[in-house]
């Protein structure tokens, strides 16, 4: 009987805990570098709490609902990403709250996070996940304006929302995001012209052939340097052997490099 009472009491406590969970709202705390005018620039509601510290300030909002489901988390992350894209956000925190809240729709004045349905359809190689994240990052740069720092969290949030089920593991996905973020950071958040992507099939083929020719030429030059060092004859047969190319290819590049037939 005692065991049954204990089981019953545990079940009741579990039910109460679950009910308390659904009664809770969500509090977001955002630390921003600025003078506070950003709140009015983006038509945000007045914060439930505001503190200033030098050239930064922290605002807090309590939002109706406890975002514990996958869809809810994605929706909340979207709003936090909007803050990061619109302002110079230094830190964000999310916690539960029992205070009365407002709806997420109050934050629609913030810049929208870029959505593009065709990121994964771009055929640029085998690692389509990498390129989807890269193209998304470029859209963020265009949206924010070249030269403006893009928060790493925006890139990672997009990648985890879209590819966590397809990636090998979280660390692999994070490594892709970090690699892309660092690549653009080294280039001061500008988008260099990129050959190959967006080209016609004919142009892409010409570009690939040019790259292969450069590689072959480098192999020929390396073979010639080796023959000179070993004091061997520089002829078609020796170059073809050492560079591991056909005799016709060796002949073509020897003529191009100024060697007699």
Residue at 1 is within a domain = no
Q: Are residues 130 and 174 in the same domain?
A: yes
Q: Are residues 95 and 166 in the same domain?
A: no
Mean pLDDT rounded to a whole number for the chain: 75
Q: Are residues 78 and 145 in the same domain?
A: no
pLDDT for residue 220: 87
| Segments forming the whole domain that contains residue 174 | 119-186
The number of distinct structural domains making up the chain is 3
Q: Are residues 54 and 84 in the same domain?
A: yes
Please check the confidence at residue 215 and state whether its pLDDT lies above 50: yes
Q: What are phi and psi of 48, to 5 degrees?
A: -75, -20
Residue at 196 is within a domain = no
Last residue of a domain, one of 45, 78, 107: 107
- Name which residue leads in pLDDT, 164 or 177: 177
pLDDT for residue 60: 94
Residue at 207 is within a domain = yes
DSSP string for 144-206: H-TTSPPPHHHHHHHHHHHHTTTSS-HHHHHHHHHHHHHHHHHTTT-----SSTT--HHHHHH
Joined tokens for residue 146: 């070249």
- Read off the CATH number of the domain in which 75 is found: 3.30.70
- Name which residue leads in pLDDT, 9 or 239: 239
Q: Are residues 30 and 60 in the same domain?
A: yes
Q: Are residues 32 and 98 in the same domain?
A: yes
- Per the CB < 8 A criterion, the answer to whether 106 and 83 are in contact is no
pLDDT for residue 69: 67
Please check the confidence at residue 22 and state whether its pLDDT lies above 60: no
Residue at 192 is within a domain = no
Q: Are residues 35 and 103 in the same domain?
A: yes
For residue range 49-93, list pLDDT tens digits in order: 999 998 899 999 998 876 666 667 767 777 777 787 778 878 888
Residue at 61 is within a domain = yes
Mean pLDDT, range 165-192, rounded to an integer: 84
pLDDT for residue 49: 92
Mean pLDDT, range 168-185, rounded to an integer: 87
Q: 191 falls in which pLDDT band (50, 70, 90)?
A: confident
Q: Are residues 97 and 144 in the same domain?
A: no
């Amino acid at each position: 009987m005692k065991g049954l009472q204990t089981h019953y009491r545990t079940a009741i406590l579990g039910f109460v805990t679950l009910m308390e969970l659904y009664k809770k709202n969500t509090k977001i705390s955002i630390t921003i570098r600025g003078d506070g005018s950003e709140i009015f620039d983006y038509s945000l509601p007045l914060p439930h709490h505001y503190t200033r510290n030098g050239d930064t300030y922290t605002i807090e909002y309590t939002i109706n609902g406890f975002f514990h489901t996958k869809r809810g988390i994605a929706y909340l992350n979207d709003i936090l990403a909007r803050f990061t894209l619109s302002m110079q956000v230094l830190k964000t925190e999310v916690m539960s709250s029992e205070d009365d809240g407002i709806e997420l729709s109050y934050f629609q004045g913030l810049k929208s996070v870029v959505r593009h349905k065709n990121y994964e359809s771009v055929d640029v190689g085998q690692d389509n996940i990498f390129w989807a994240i890269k193209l998304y990052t470029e859209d963020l740069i265009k949206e924010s304006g070249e030269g403006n720092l893009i928060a790493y969290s925006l890139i990672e949030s997009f990648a985890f929302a879209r590819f966590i089920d397809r990636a090998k593991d979280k660390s692999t996905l994070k490594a892709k995001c970090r690699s892309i973020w660092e690549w653009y950071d080294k280039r001061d958040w500008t988008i260099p012209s990129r050959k190959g992507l967006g080209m016609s099939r004919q142009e892409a083929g010409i570009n690939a052939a040019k790259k292969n020719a450069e590689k072959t030429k480098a192999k020929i030059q390396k073979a010639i340097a080796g023959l000179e060092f070993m004091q061997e004859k520089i002829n078609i047969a020796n170059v073809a052997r050492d560079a591991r190319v056909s005799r016709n290819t060796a002949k073509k590049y020897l003529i191009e490099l100024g060697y007699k037939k």
